[in-house]
Amino acid sequence: MRVLGIEGTAWAASAALFDADDDSVFIDSDPYQPDSGGIHPREAAEHMADAVPGVVESVLAHASETSDSGAPEIDAVAFSRGPGLGPCLRIVATAARSLAQTLDVPLVGVNHMVAHLEIGRHQSGFDSPVCLNASGANAHLLGYHNGRYRVLGETMDTGVGNAIDKFTRHVGWTHPGGPKVEQAAKDGEYLDLPYVVKGMDFSFSGIMSAAKQAYDDGEEVEDICCGLQETVFGMLTEVAERALSLTGTDELVLGGGVGQNARLREMLAEMCEARGADFYAPEPRFLRDNAGMIAVLGAKMYDAGDTLPVADSSVDPNYRPDQVPVTWRGDDESVARAVTEAGDIRGAEATVSFEGEDVVKRRLPKSYRHPQLDARLRKERTTAEARLTSEARQAGVPTPLVRDVDLREATITFQHVGACDLAEDLSADAIREVGGHLGRLHRAGIVHGDPTTRNVRVGRSPSERDGSESPSRTFLIDFGLGFHTGHVEDHAMDLHVFEQSIDGTADDPAPLREAFEAGYEATGDADVLSRLRTVEGRGRYQ
């Protein structure tokens, strides 16, 4: 089977031929290079109109040369339906429709983001990996579960490449900025910048403002580039590790143009090696925007009968990966694995060992992180965790007692609580109770920062066992990303993080979300729930 793919969401006018019989991919691309500034939508669309016919022509010629009959012998035409720049998408879709009609073959509409990650899954042979997309206009973690790719975490503002490109525009470098930052960072010293991770979500705007400010203040640009890479890629690696820990899977694939960065790949590989996971990054020609990935996913979709009548083939500039009905994977596949609790636990951040009635949590150094950043985060988080675990308790939220803190070793000793993590015993009742806990916590001016189904323990409390006090079934743990705040936005983010972790693991998340929100409503502020709707609906990628 042979599928011709066409890509043109933003800068790469690209066509490709994927031959499923010998797994070969031929790609021809013609990039748009802005004279100055960033990608200009109208200029980019003009580029697509000029360049797409040429790359399609060259792929058709290749197809004819490599067929027995001398005709192109193409079974389907696949194209990027979105997300991307509307004017570019429309030109590419028009080209794809007319080519499919000329060749008299079906049309396949591919989600560009899903293509960025399916290429890595296809080439690695991994079953059901966590996928990190680090591209220009996006940054997110996806995992397949129950017929869809679930968003496990994502940027709350700009895409990672665009964030870096905005900084390089500020210092007067031409587009794209990513490779220039990579080069300059080699001659730089690490510089501290804000580090922003909320559960498995993250944001870049604060870092970018600080980086621009540092430049205006006369810091060496090489040092800022080094700090930028260490911070931004450290965050992406951390959230990828969180996703591995939450889902229990041991496979990670990388996709997207920023994935061409050697430092990012090095950090991800090192993180995976340290936790015994497998890591795969496609070669650069499949990481940056290219039609090869569109043709490969197009072939899987065509095989599954997932083709588009021309009348229904409109483009979608905001096409999200979790909107795609995944027709080409089995319903029984899932990114979520059962995690068995035996002996020491390796969480995303720390190792946890069970010592009698106590639990000892050690934030061991992370070798993938810059040592200065690593020391800062371990200390900050240990301090926050010890303090907030106790303060939450005082606010009426069940948490373990803190028995001992060793800041130098970044180690805390806690009382052992619960029988298992909520992830292993997801029930509406327990989740309603967690909603109540978060409402109370927020009223006390505290956010948890990382409320996931692995950071809630479920089971009987010691008081319940000896019958001395009224029982509580659920306990919040892992306050390392917590902080004091009265902002509705921060509180809504806490709820968003929790709901994302339900979406990532539950078969039928809707009733669980409802129970969670009902629980929150009973103790928390209604404004936070309405802000949650805004957070979810926000057009994130800029």
Ligand X SMILES: C[C@@H](O)[C@H](NC(=O)OP(=O)(O)OC[C@H]1O[C@@H](n2cnc3c(N)ncnc32)[C@H](O)[C@@H]1O)C(=O)O
Ligand Y SMILES: Nc1ncnc2c1ncn2[C@@H]1O[C@H](COP(=O)(O)OP(=O)(O)OP(=O)(O)O)[C@@H](O)[C@H]1O
Active-site residues, by number, are: 450
- List C-alpha distances in Å: 166 to 158, 163, 212, 237, 313: 10, 5, 9, 22, 33
Using the rule CB under 6 A, which residue among 345, 364, 428, 444 binds ligand Y? 345
Tokens of 57: 């022509």
| Cα end-to-end span (Å), the chain | 37
CB atoms within 10 A of CB 304: 13
Three-class secondary structure of residue 396 per DSSP = coil
Could you say whether residue 478 binds ligand Y (CB under 6 A)? yes
**Residues of this chain, 56-75, that bind ligand Y according to CB under 6 A:** none
* Least distance (Å) between residue 450 CB and ligand X: 26
* Least distance (Å) between residue 191 CB and ligand X: 18
Choose the binding region for ligand X from 129-137, 273-281, 414-422, 481-489 (rule: CB under 6 A).
Answer: 129-137
* Least distance (Å) between residue 448 CB and ligand Y: 11
SS (H, E, C) 443-492: HCCEECCCCCCCCEEECCCHHHHHCCCCCCCEEECCCCCCEECCCHHHHH
**Cβ partners under 8 Å of residue 344, min gap 6:** 351, 352, 353, 354
Three-class secondary structure of residue 121 per DSSP = helix
Could you say whether residue 352 binds ligand Y (CB under 6 A)? yes
* Least distance (Å) between residue 434 CB and ligand X: 34
Q: Give the C-alpha separation, 307 to 301, whole Å.
A: 7
**Residues of this chain, 244-263, that bind ligand Y according to CB under 6 A:** 245
Could you say whether residue 499 binds ligand X (CB under 6 A)? no
Q: Give the C-alpha separation, 11 to 13, whole Å.
A: 7
**Residues of this chain, 511-540, that bind ligand Y according to CB under 6 A:** none
| Closest CB to ligand Y among residues 245, 474 | 245
Asked if residues 193 and 234 have their Cβ atoms less than 8 Å apart, the reply is no
- List C-alpha distances in Å: 25 to 4, 16, 29, 188, 249: 10, 7, 13, 38, 29
509 binds, among Fe ion, ligand Y, ligand X, none (CB under 5 to 8 A by kind): none
Could you say whether residue 374 binds ligand Y (CB under 6 A)? no
Burial 219-243 (b: 16+ CB within 10 A, else e): eebbbbbbbbbbbbbbbbbbbbbbb
* Least distance (Å) between residue 437 CB and ligand Y: 15
- List C-alpha distances in Å: 184 to 136, 137, 205, 257, 258: 19, 22, 21, 18, 16
| Closest CB to ligand X among residues 91, 422 | 91
- List C-alpha distances in Å: 390 to 163, 301, 358, 440, 491: 37, 52, 16, 14, 19
Using the rule CB under 6 A, which residue among 19, 238, 289, 499 binds ligand X? 289
| Closest CB to ligand X among residues 280, 319 | 319
121 binds, among Fe ion, ligand X, ligand Y, none (CB under 5 to 8 A by kind): none
461 binds, among Fe ion, ligand Y, ligand X, none (CB under 5 to 8 A by kind): none
| Closest CB to ligand X among residues 138, 472 | 138
Using the rule CB under 6 A, which residue among 5, 72, 83, 106 binds ligand X? 83
CB atoms within 10 A of CB 125: 9
Could you say whether residue 136 binds ligand X (CB under 6 A)? yes
Could you say whether residue 282 binds ligand X (CB under 6 A)? no
How many residues touch ligand Y (CB under 6 A)?
22
**Cβ partners under 8 Å of residue 176, min gap 6:** 136, 161, 165, 168, 257
Strand partners, 225: none
Could you say whether residue 118 binds ligand X (CB under 6 A)? no
Could you say whether residue 364 binds ligand Y (CB under 6 A)? no
- Whether cis (ω within 30° of 0) applies to the bond prior to 129 is no
Using the rule CB under 6 A, which residue among 62, 122, 175, 457 binds ligand Y? 457
Tokens of 364: 């061991």
Could you say whether residue 164 binds ligand X (CB under 6 A)? yes
Could you say whether residue 242 binds ligand Y (CB under 6 A)? yes
299 is in an annotated binding site: no
Choose the binding region for ligand Y from 22-30, 43-51, 186-194, 349-357 (rule: CB under 6 A).
Answer: 349-357
159 binds, among Fe ion, ligand X, ligand Y, none (CB under 5 to 8 A by kind): ligand X
- Contacting positions for ligand X (CB under 6 A): 9-10, 83-84, 112, 116, 135-138, 159, 161-162, 164-165, 176-179, 182, 256-258, 260-261, 288-289
Residues of each annotated binding site? 112, 116, 133-137, 165, 178, 182, 261, 289, 344-352, 361
Residues of each annotated binding site for Fe cation? 112, 116, 289
Residues of each annotated binding site for L-threonylcarbamoyladenylate? 133-137, 165, 178, 182, 261
